[in-house]
Amino acid sequence: MANRKPVNPAGASPNPALSLGMIVGDLLFVSGTVALDSGGNVVGEGDAEAQSRQVMDNIREVITAAGGKMEDVAKITCFLTDIADYSAYSKVRAETWPSAPPASSTVVVAGLVLPELLVEVEAIVRLG
């Protein structure tokens, strides 16, 4: 496999089981990102819009640490625990990318790693 470089921004909530991002060539793969603050606490419990904002902020931190910007995102995949939260997530996605939004998929899942989490997003970013 091509050279791989892990990306774990300083101050991000640590997870020894994974890298928050992985650079391979000119691509950055951002791991599934949830609404945890730097202390590992859930932000916006019960509020999909607040969680979506935290998720986008967390993704932005990984992309910035890799030398990119949100405009470089080519594809995102969102996992929601309830389709009723789609409009709240979609609102934040539209605010995050007001023009030229990335390709996007949304999947409804039975649950995420913690029961309080409503939204998870992963991203593929072209750097450079």
What's the whole-number mean pLDDT along residues 1-13? 85
Report the distance separating Cα 6 and Cα 17, nearest Å. 12
Write down the pTM of the prediction: 0.96
Given this model, what pLDDT does residue 12 score? 82
pLDDT band for position 11 (50/70/90)? Answer: confident
50-79 per-position pLDDT tens digit: 999 999 999 999 999 999 999 999 999 999
Report the distance separating Cα 47 and Cα 16, nearest Å. 27
What's the whole-number mean pLDDT along residues 86-109? 98
pLDDT band for position 1 (50/70/90)? Answer: low
Q: Classify domain 4-126 at the CATH superfamily level.
A: RutC-like (3.30.1330.40)
Beta sheet of 21-24, edge-to-edge order: 4-7, 21-24, 27-33, 119-126, 73-80, 103-108
73-80 and 103-108 strand pairing: parallel
Report the distance separating Cα 26 and Cα 37, nearest Å. 28
What's the whole-number mean pLDDT along residues 39-56? 97
Residue 53: which of 31, 84, 85 has the closest Cα?
85
State whether the Cα torsion 49-58-70-110 is positive or negative. Answer: negative
The number of beta carbons lying within 10 Å of the beta carbon of residue 128 is 8
Report the distance separating Cα 64 and Cα 117, nearest Å. 24
